[in-house]
Amino acid sequence: DAGGGAGRELVDLKIIWNKTKHDVKFPLDSTGSELKQKIHSITGLPPAMQKVMYKGLVPEDKTLREIKVTSGAKIMVVGSTINDVLAVNTPKDAAQQGAKAEENKKEPLCRQKQHRKVLDKGKPEDVMPSVKGAQEHLPTVPLSGMYNKSGGKVRLTFKLEQDQLWIGTKERTEKLPMGSIKNVVSEPIEGHEDYHMM
């Protein structure tokens, strides 16, 4: 719209939500908050339930121009509609999880053959102390002093602003969306009950 002057400059965005891509033309001088309204109109996802990401979380009060969004940019949207949330909390899932827990109870993790090799290395020298039974917020600093299943040193970093857990080794960093973590099992290691496998 050349006649409308610079104020109506549009950018092509790819809005990605739930593995679905939506191609949208959107004014560059709109705010993050207005973008959330637009996403609501496309996906039905209420703005309060949206996490909108472009190189980090999109601030509601800044314009797309201010956060340097360019044409063709991919905007990731994380969030569930109310119906999705309600659908998850069904009793049948609980029954399945109960059955799974029973299955896993048979043999403690520390006795499973796949973990023996790593346990035989002994404890990592940079293991970090913690207080048993204390409920703490997720740490903002990386947690070290751990081995992964192949015996490599590993660091966990909780990237809350990106809603991800980073599992870092010397070779690479795996970035897991927090939403993909369905369950965490932590078991004391026999003979070294102060240390846990997770």
- Rounded CA gap, 140 and 58, in Å? 20
Say what percent of the chain tops pLDDT 70: 86
Six token digits for residue 125: 């020298």
Mean pLDDT, rounded, for 153-168:
88
pLDDT band at 52; cut points 50, 70, 90: very high
pLDDT band at 91; cut points 50, 70, 90: low
Identify any residues that bridge with 197 across adjacent strands, giving them in sequence order. 187
* The predicted structure's pLDDT at residue 5: 47
pLDDT exceeds 90 at position 26: yes
* The predicted structure's pLDDT at residue 93: 53
**Sequential DSSP letters for 38-84:** HHHHHH---GGG-EEESSSBPPTTSBTTTTT--TTEEEEEE---HHH
* The predicted structure's pLDDT at residue 88: 65
* The predicted structure's pLDDT at residue 2: 43
Six token digits for residue 6: 């610079």
Q: In the predicted model, what is the mean pLDDT of the chain?
A: 83
pLDDT exceeds 70 at position 152: yes
Mean pLDDT, rounded, for 138-151:
84
- Rounded CA gap, 190 and 196, in Å? 9
Domains and CATH numbers, the chain: 10-85 (3.10.20.90), 109-127+137-197 (no CATH)
Mean pLDDT, rounded, for 166-174:
89
- Rounded CA gap, 134 and 131, in Å? 6
Mean pLDDT, rounded, for 60-87:
87
- Rounded CA gap, 52 and 91, in Å? 31
Using alpha carbons, select from 150, 2, 155, 164 the residue that is nearest to residue 78.
Answer: 164
Using alpha carbons, select from 137, 164, 142 the residue that is nearest to residue 154.
Answer: 142
- Rounded CA gap, 99 and 125, in Å? 37
